[in-house]
Amino acid sequence: MLQRWQQWNRKAKLLVWIIAIIGVIAALPLGMNRMDMEASSKSVEYIFDYRDLVDISEYQARPAQFIDEQLDKMKDVGITTMSLYESSLKELSASGRLKYYNSKDVALLQSKLEPVGQNFTYILFSGTQEEEQIGPIVRQALDHAGVVYRPWTFDGRNGLVVEMPLQEVLLQPMDFDPMTLQALHDKGFHILARFSDRVLPYDEAAVDAQLARLKEVGVTRVLFDGGQVKGYKDQFELRSLNSFAELLNKYGMGMATIENLKKPQLGINKLAFITNYNIVRLYSLSADDAIAKSPEVLTDRFLLAAKDRNIRMFFLNASVQTSQEKSAVVSGLDNLYLTMKGKDGAVQRLTDAGFAPNLAQPFDVKHPSYAKPLKMVVAAGAVSLIALLINVFIPGTLILLFILGLIGGAGLFQLNGALAEQALALGAAISAPTLALVWVMNRVYSRTDGNRRTVGGSDWNGRAATPDEGKWVFEGMTVGRRFGLAITWFIVTALISLMAVPFVFGLLNNITYSMVLQQFRGVSMLHLAPIGLTAIYVLLYTGSSPIRRLRKVAGMPITVFMVVAFVVIAVVGMYYLSRTGNEGSASSLELTFRNWLEQTFGVRPRSKEFMLSHPLLLLGLFLALRYRAAWVLIIVGSIGQLSMVDTFAHIHTPLYISIIRVFLGLGLGAIIGIILIGVWLVLEGVWRKWSPGLIKKLAE
C-alpha cells in the first residue's frame, strides 16, 4: 500500500505542476488590469505649505509684501497648490488678522496695574474686514468650547474679552481662514485643505457647511493633520467616519495619503473604501532637505518617486536658518525655486517623463467580472507551488499537502481574505525560487556525482575516500560544454523563480496595496527562507538519507572555526536584512551610483542582483561542474533569485517598471557573469602554466 501511495504521488507531481502553470496563466489578465489602472493617472501636483510661508514672513521687514511676492514666484516655477490648515489664534495673528494679549499685556497697554485674580485673553481684530470675516470663526470656536466672552474695544479697534487663559485659547481649533482661502484662490492657486480631528464632538452640520465653503474656492482634495483622520475619534458613538466620507462624496472631494509615515493615519482605510478609493499618494519633502539637498538630488528624488512609487502629489516644506557666513536668515525657498524651474528642473523633467503638472487624479479602479474566478485559480496554483516545495523535504506527501492546502486556503479566505491572499502570495514567493535552486542543484549533481550526490570529501584529486564522501574535482567535461550548461541552467532557474511573480501580483491586486493602505508582510522571511532551505537541502538531502546526515551533522564536534563562521554569517545576515524592504539605507556613494544607473537606463536595476547575485550564480554553475567548492556560489547566487520576486512585492511600484528592472538586472548580471568566467579561465590557464615550476621552487 505504501509503495502504491508513493507511485500515486510521483504521478501527481506532473499534474500539480500543470495546475501551478495554469495559475500563472490565470494571473496574467489580473496583471494587465493592474497595468491599465496604473496608466490611468499621470498628472502630478506640486504643493507648498502656506503655514511655512507665513512663518518665514515673520523674519521679513514687510511680511505681507513678502508673502505676495513669494506666491508670484511659486506660481512662476510651477507650484500650483497651497496647503492650508484649519486655523488657530496663533496662525490668525501671524497672518495679520488679529492680535491677542493676556491680562498683564492689556494692563501695560492701558498703563494700568494688572488686575488681581484675573487671567483672561484679549483679542483685537486688525480692521473692519477682519472683524466681519474672522470674527465669526473665532466666536464659533469659543462657543464650541463653551467659553464666556464679551465685546471689547481698544484704540478704535473692536475685539473680544475671553474668560479663559491665553494658553488654552491658543489650543482651540478654528475653521479655515476665509480671507486666506479667497486670496489664494484669486491668485490662481488650488487649495489642499488639511483637516484635523481636534474639533470634538463631531458636528455633521458644521462639517457640511465647512466643505461647502471649501468647494466654492475649488477644493477637490483633503489631507489630514495628525495621527488620525477627521471623524475617527467619534466613530463608535456618532459613526462620524461614515458621515465625513459621505460628505466628501457629496462635494466630489478625495484624499491624499502621506508616504512613509511610521504608521498609517487611523481611519484612512475606511474613508478610502467608502469614497471608492478616491485617494492619491503624497511625498512630503522636509524643510531640512529643502535647504540641504542640491536641486539635482531633489529633482532625481521627485522623478524616482513619480516613476517608481506612484507618487502624484509633492508636498514642499521650507523653514528658516541663521547663517553666520551670510550674516542673515536664510530659507529653503530659493533652493526650491532652483529645483523646480528650468529645462533641467523637476517640473520639466517630470513632464518629459510623462508626468505633466496638473491636479492629481486617483487611479481608475476597475473590478472586471473575471477577476474573482481567476483569483481562485491563482490561489490553487499557489497552493500547488507550496505543496511541491514541502514535498521536496517530506517526500511522498504531495497529494495530501495539495488537498489540505486547498481546504485550508478556502477556509482562510472565508475568515480573512486579505490574510489568505498574503499567506499564499508569500508561500508562492518563497517556493518558486527554492524549487528553482533545488532543481539546478540536482542538475549539477547529475553531471558530477551522479546518483551518489554526496557532499564533502577528502580527496581533492578525484576519488571519494568513502561511499558517503564525494569528489572535490570533476574531470571529463569540456569548457564549452560547461559554459553551455551554465547558461541554459541560469535561464531555466530564473524562469522557475519568476513563476512566483504572477502569484504575487495576481493575489495582491487590490488597490489598497498600490496605495500602501495595507502592505505585503513577510519580506524578511522572503529574503531568508529560500537561502536557508537551499542550504538545508544541500546539507541534508544529498547522498545518504536526511536522518543519517542529520545525525552525522549533529555528532560533529563544535570547533572555534565553526563559532567564528556562525558569527560572521549572523553579522552578514543582519546587514543583509537591514538593506531589504523600505527601511534599508544606502551610502552617499551608492546613492550617486544609483542615480547614474537611473539616468543611464531609465529604470534602475537592483545592484545586488546584477553586480553580485546573478554573476556569482552564473560563475558558480560554470565552476560547480568542475569544482565542488563552487557550490557555495550557487547558494549565494540564490539572493538574486529571491530578490527578483521581492521586486514585485513592492506593489506600489508600477508593474511595468518592475518587469523592466528584473530583466535588465538579469541581462547585465549575465554579461558580468560571462566576464567573470572569462577572467577565471585566464587565471586558471596562468596557474596551470606556472604552478608546476612554482611548486618545484617551493619544494627546493
Q: What is the pLDDT of residues 482-518, one digit of tens each?
A: 999 999 999 999 999 999 999 999 999 999 999 988 8
Note the pLDDT of residue 109: 85
C-alpha cell at 491: 535561464
Helices 631-649, 417-447: inter-axial angle, 10-degree rounding: 160
Please state the separation of Cα 474 from the chain's center in Å: 46
Indicate the average pLDDT of the chain. Answer: 86
For the stretch 357-390, pLDDT in tens is 999 999 999 889 999 999 999 999 999 999 999 9
CATH class of 41-86+178-362: alpha beta
Q: What is the mean pLDDT of the segment spanning 128-134?
A: 94
CATH 3.20.20, the chain: domain bounds: 41-86+178-362
pLDDT over 90 percentage in the chain: 61
* Residues with Cβ within 8 Å of residue 666, at least 6 apart in sequence: 494, 609, 610, 614, 644
Among 71-80, 317-326, 440-449, 623-632, where is mean pLDDT lowest? Answer: 317-326
For the stretch 244-281, pLDDT in tens is 999 999 999 999 999 988 888 999 999 999 999 999 99
Are 230 and 197 in contact by the 8 Å Cβ rule? The answer is yes
Q: Break the chain down into helix, strand, coil percent, rounded to 5.
A: 60, 10, 30
Q: What is the mean pLDDT of the segment spanning 77-94?
A: 94
For the stretch 183-221, pLDDT in tens is 999 999 999 999 999 998 999 999 999 999 999 999 999
Q: How many residues are listed for the chain in this entry?
A: 700
For the stretch 458-492, pLDDT in tens is 333 333 444 334 567 888 788 999 999 999 999 99
Closest CA to 361 of 535, 553, 554, 190: 190
Q: pTM of the predicted model, to two decimals?
A: 0.86
Note the pLDDT of residue 427: 94
Burial of 233-252, coded b for 16+ CB within 10 Å and e otherwise, reads bbbeebebbebbbebbeeee
Integer Cα distance of 344 and 337 in angstroms: 12
Integer Cα distance of 492 and 438 in angstroms: 12
